[in-house]
């Protein structure tokens, strides 16, 4: 007899584990299946995010930031540290421990919520039966009324530069270097290229990033992207836009041939990271006689209820169209669970926070100026630089600004764009404000603690009405 559940979730990443736990909280019998094994060969739920994505990358960003601060900033605080030494093995061990603690936490949450965790590879079959092949190659079958597909995504490979886990690596390989490469090449100046490029550049690598597009971070606000590009360049990230990579030759080093506005170019690196996007894990997820409706890019198509074209089969997270972000997947996991339980739930796709964890951090929610112009919406702009913020000055972290875009007629906040210290945390305030359809004036009338970085958000909102206090120049704005 095969085990029977109300819900089976395939994939224990942020979308899948959240869906499983929420279903269990709502009184459903749940199983969650995940095939990932960590470097010790142990099952490790948490998906890309916890194992080889969000969390290890942030651990390395934190360590490398400390190292850079010790090198460049401590002296001005009157702190002398003598000979600074970098121990990459310890840095990597710490990262791995952070990952283990968190993935262990997911296992505890599964236990506490009575979610049955099945390590192994799942294949969906007819009538919502799910075949699970464990790591000893034993197959069992589970049955459920509902199945949630949350199998996530994996890195895209360049056809002429396959990953070799040594010289030409994906993000997973780039999180695990055991020595700092002297010359590091990165293909793709997207989120991963900038975050992991920052890590290894701070630790001493000479980093060149080759980006095919002419525009730096096309999804971000233009002013913010321009300033970020300049600051990252000053830090030592050599970002080359409009670079079309044509060939790669691996030998003692990796030689990369590309063309740009100046013609044919060639560079040599010790390691090459290919970070040109990710693709959904939709192949092999279902038996051959079954298809949940997959588009030409591999995404599973769903309706507003996350239903696929198969009866009582749903899909969430990186597997479906939309930004590939852990928090977007988690919200979908919550929503699908609540819908299965007969409740109402919706994800606000218009208010997703985007964050790039460089230093300074880049973060935004809502529309950019360009998008508002293209849509013919009248708007007003308020902005405030961190150089005029007391807390940022005390911290010696004054690069960047906050920009608030508000509807010229209703004053409703349509977009908030940040470049600055802790922008990843500050953007949460903007997301809450937008969730409640706040006006710039509402924000202006709100009291913010002093001295805090968040006062820059307050001042930018005040500036929408031309009444920022701590700015030397008042820009007679603004209506665009």
Question: CB under 6 A: which stretch of 60-68, 330-338, 350-358, 437-445 binds ligand NAD?
Answer: 350-358
Scored b (16 or more CB within 10 A) or e, 222-234 reads: ebbbebbbebbee
Q: Residue 85 class from Cβ within 10 Å (0-12 exposed, 13-18 middle, 19+ buried)?
A: exposed
**Segment 150-189, which members bind ligand FAD (CB under 6 A)?**
150-153, 171
- Of 135, 305, 409, 450, which one is the catalytic site residue? 450
Q: Are 189 and 312 in contact (CB under 8 A)?
A: no
Instruction: Tell whether residue 327 is a contact of ligand FAD (CB under 6 A).
Output: yes
Alpha-carbon gap, residue 342 to 339, rounded angstroms = 5
Question: Which residue bears the tokens 């924000």?
Answer: 443
Coil, strand, or helix at residue 414?
strand
Stretch that binds ligand FAD, among 34-42, 81-89, 232-240, 428-436 (CB under 6 A): 34-42
Instruction: Rule CB under 6 A: choose which of 162, 277, 284, 396 binds ligand NAD.
Output: 277
Member of 22, 24, 34, 403 binding ligand FAD (CB under 6 A): 34
330 binds ligand NAD (CB under 6 A): no
Q: How far is the CB of 46 from ligand FAD (least distance, A)?
A: 7
Angle between helices 88-112 and 14-25 (to 10 degrees): 30
CB of 187 to ligand FAD, least distance (A): 15
Picked from ligand NAD, ligand FAD, none, the partner binding residue 12 (CB below 5 to 8 A depending on kind) is ligand FAD
Rg of the chain on CA atoms, in Å: 24
**Residue 315, CB half-sphere, CA atoms under 13 Å: how many?**
28
Q: Which element (helix H / strand E) includes 361?
A: strand 361-366
Distance CA 114, CA 29 (A): 8
Chosen residue from 5, 17, 357, 457 binding ligand NAD by CB under 6 A:
357
Position among 211, 221, 331, 338 found at the interface with ligand NAD (CB under 6 A): 211
Q: Is 443 in the site for ligand NAD (CB under 6 A)?
A: no
Q: How far is the CB of 116 from ligand FAD (least distance, A)?
A: 14
- Answer for which of 10, 161, 180, 189 binds ligand NAD (CB under 6 A) is 189
CB of 33 to ligand FAD, least distance (A): 5
Q: Does 191 bind ligand NAD (CB under 6 A)?
A: yes
For 285-345, give the DSSP string. Answer: SB-TT----B-TTSPBP--TT-B-SSTTEEE-GGGSSS---HHHHHHHHHHHHHHHTT---
In the list 5, 8, 11, 434, the residue contacting ligand FAD (rule: CB under 6 A) is: 11
Q: Could you give the 3-state DSSP secondary structure of residue 118?
A: strand
Question: Which positions from 121 to 160 touch ligand NAD by CB under 6 A, shown as an x/- string?
Answer: -------------------------------------x--
470 is catalytic: no
The CA distance from 303 to 420, in Å, is 37
The residues that are catalytic are 450
Which spans of this chain sit near ligand FAD (rule: CB under 6 A)?
Answer: 10-16, 33-36, 47-49, 53-54, 57, 121-122, 150-153, 171, 192, 281, 285, 317-319, 324-327, 329
């Amino acid at each position: 007899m095969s085990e029977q559940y109300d819900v089976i979730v395939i994939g224990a990443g942020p979308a899948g584990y959240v869906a499983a736990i929420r279903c269990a909280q709502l009184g459903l019998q749940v199983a969650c299946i995940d095939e990932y094994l960590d470097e010790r060969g142990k099952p490790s739920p948490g998906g890309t995010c916890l194992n080889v994505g969000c969390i290890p990358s942030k651990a390395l960003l934190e360590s490398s930031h400390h190292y850079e601060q010790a090198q460049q900033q401590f002296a001005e605080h009157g702190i002398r540290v003598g000979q600074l030494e970098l121990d990459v093995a310890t840095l990597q061990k710490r990262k791995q421990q952070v990952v283990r603690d968190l993935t262990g936490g997911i296992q505890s949450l599964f236990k506490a919520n009575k979610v049955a965790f099945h390590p192994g590879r799942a294949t969906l079959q007819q009538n919502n039966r799910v075949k699970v092949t464990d790591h000893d190659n034993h197959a069992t079958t589970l049955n459920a009324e509902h199945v949630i597909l949350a199998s996530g995504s994996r890195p895209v490979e360049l056809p002429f530069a396959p990953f070799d886990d040594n010289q030409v690596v994906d993000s997973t390989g780039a999180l695990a270097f055991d020595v700092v490469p002297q010359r590091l090449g990165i293909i793709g100046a997207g989120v991963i290229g900038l975050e992991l490029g920052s890590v290894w550049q701070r630790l001493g690598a000479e980093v060149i990033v080759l980006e095919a597009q002419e525009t730096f971070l096309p999804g971000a606000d233009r002013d913010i992207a321009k300033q970020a590009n300049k600051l990252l360049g000053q830090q030592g990230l050599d970002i080359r836009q409009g670079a079309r990579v044509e060939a790669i030759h691996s030998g003692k080093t990796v030689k990369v041939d590309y063309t740009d506005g100046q013609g044919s170019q060639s560079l040599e690196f010790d390691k090459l990271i290919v970070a040109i996007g990710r693709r959904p894990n939709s192949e092999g997820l279902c038996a051959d006689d079954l298809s949940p409706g997959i588009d030409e890019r591999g995404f599973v198509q769903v309706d507003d209820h996350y239903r696929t074209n198969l009866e009582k089969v749903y899909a969430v997270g990186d597997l479906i169209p939309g930004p590939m972000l852990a928090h977007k997947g988690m919200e979908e996991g919550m929503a699908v669970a609540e819908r299965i339980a007969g409740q109402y739930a919706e994800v606000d796709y218009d208010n997703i926070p985007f964050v790039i964890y460089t230093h300074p951090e880049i973060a935004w929610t809502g529309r950019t100026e360009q998008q508002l112009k293209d849509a013919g919406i009248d708007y007003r702009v308020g902005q405030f630089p961190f150089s005029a913020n007391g807390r940022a000055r005390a911290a010696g972290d004054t690069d960047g600004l906050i920009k608030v875009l508000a509807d010229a007629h209703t004053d409703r906040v349509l977009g908030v764009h940040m470049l600055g210290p802790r922008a990843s945390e500050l953007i949460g305030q903007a997301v809450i404000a937008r969730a409640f359809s706040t006006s710039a004036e509402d924000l202006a009338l709100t009291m913010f603690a002093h001295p805090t970085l968040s006062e820059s958000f307050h001042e930018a909102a005040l500036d929408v009405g031309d009444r920022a206090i701590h700015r030397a120049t008042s820009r007679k704005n603004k209506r665009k």
